Amino acid sequence: MSGRTVINNRYELDAFPIGKGGMGEVWGGRDTVLDREVAVKFIRPRDDVRGEDLIRRFDREARVTARLVHPGVPAVHDFGVHEGRPYLVMQRIRGVSVADVIAEQGSLPLGWAAAIAAQTCAVLSVAHRASLVHRDLKPSNLMLEPDGGVKVLDFGLAAALDLPDFSRITQTGESFGTLPYMAPEQIEAAQSDARTDLYALGCTLYEMLTGEQLFAGATPYVVMRKQLDGWTRPFRAARAEIPAALEELLRDLLRRKPEERPADADAVYERLLPFATDLGPLPGVVETSARPSPLRMYADVVSRILMPASTPPRPGPPPVVPAGGDAGGEPEMEGSGAKERGVVRDSSMPLSRNDLDLVRREARRLVAQSRHRQAADVLGNVIEPAIRSLGPLDDDVISLRMQFADVLFNGGDYRRAAPAYQRLAADLGKRPGIPPERAFDCRRQAAACHALIGQTSLALRQLEELLRDERGQFGDDHERVVELRRQIGLLRPSAENR
């Protein structure tokens, strides 16, 4: 690109990119319709992925990322394709990367290192509740703003470039991340979950505290070997004033086995908070000002909400509020999310086949516009009435439920898709005349959902049970059985490492 390029008749790009990386490049620009600054991220094409497949997957993950509404995540404004390359339009962030701060100043004050890590935990908390793993957390993806706030960049870009098809989920060589911050399970089995991000946070926290990378070496092999061998020296050998409790947290974050790390980002946040004190100016980055920061004013009030009158407000970032409510907890029952989000159809009314056809057509229209969440709402709101009116094993009802599960899966809502596929598999097995492949495919999709949200042990158990049933149905040499055995072999090392 040269000169002033305008994409989609709306976004005018600056003359030169403001950042480049392995996944693509970032351009500053201006939204000429709303007259605001934006950042436009272009994804680099991949030789092993067809253009339309890359666009489809990036579109899906961009929509998942756009649901992360939090002060620590840049807002997603738009998605599109320009000259065959997918791009994402995001909020323009003014600040300095933590990597640049470390390069210029060396180790950070202990309070600031803890505060940056705690704010990052707040972002990871909302993302992990939405089943979104960063997979490339590192100092260069943390932006420190002039008011002291932290923005976590590139959420979803690594996930967008990974292959969502279950036959490739566990394929070695498809891992994403930056080697010095990659957890052992990423290196050994190309597997990532929430605890993988916590490991990367440990590497980043160490770097902020000491000014040096935890794992460094002359060659990638040397770095990998150090990662897999683990860290054995006392952390306080690199910086004597690291408190014992903070050293213990670092050691817990960097445990080789994921299950030995802290339970979640919330637990890490609580352990970091006592150290996020004495947050004075950072020269050239965070300065004192006679005018109060609107973000700090807002955060201070939010931190007081629902606190007992006798409890003084504690320092730290504002609480996490995911888009549309809390995304944590148990997976929603099939169809329940539509009711909670206000789809207005009266579920007590009888449902005709004509009604069902209209609903399915509307859902297809929404999917064609990549509005998967709304399509799932539309379908989910009529599943129970359809079952009452026509029965769970009716052909049209089965098709409706399959469409609902597929929309959830293609929209990245794997937690809700898994039980939808499981219930479908159970009912398909009860209906005479249905080819067994249909139930088997649903079981495989349910396992895929569990693998995608990091529940690899559960996914492995489900696939092994499926293999037993498919071998009994088709024999050892059938192509379905051969492919299933291959998938299990690829998934097993990761499950055993957990």
Q: Cα separation of 234 and 247, whole Å?
A: 8
Neighbours of 126 (CB within 10 A): 24
Q: Cα separation of 265 and 481, whole Å?
A: 39
Tell me whether residue 394 is one of the annotated catalytic residues.
Answer: no
Record the tokens describing residue 208, joined without a space. 């902020």
DSSP state, residue 107: S
**Stretch (H or E) spanning 16:** strand 11-20
Beta-ladder partners of 97 = 143
DSSP state, residue 92: P
Set 59, 136, 377, 406: catalytic member: 136
- Order of strands across the sheet that contains 142-144: 96-97, 142-144, 150-152
DSSP state, residue 342: T
- CA 154, 158, 161, 163 dihedral sign is negative
Axis crossing angle, helix 395-410 with helix 436-452, rounded to the nearest 10: 20
Q: Can you tell me whether residue 91 is helix, strand or coil?
A: strand
Question: What single-letter amino acid sits at 344?
Answer: V
The structure tokens 């229209």 sit at 365
Cβ 438 vs Cβ 424: under 8 Å: no
Please classify residue 459 by burial: count the beta carbons closer than 10 Å to its beta carbon, then call 0-12 exposed, 13-18 middle and 19+ buried: buried
Catalytic residues: 136
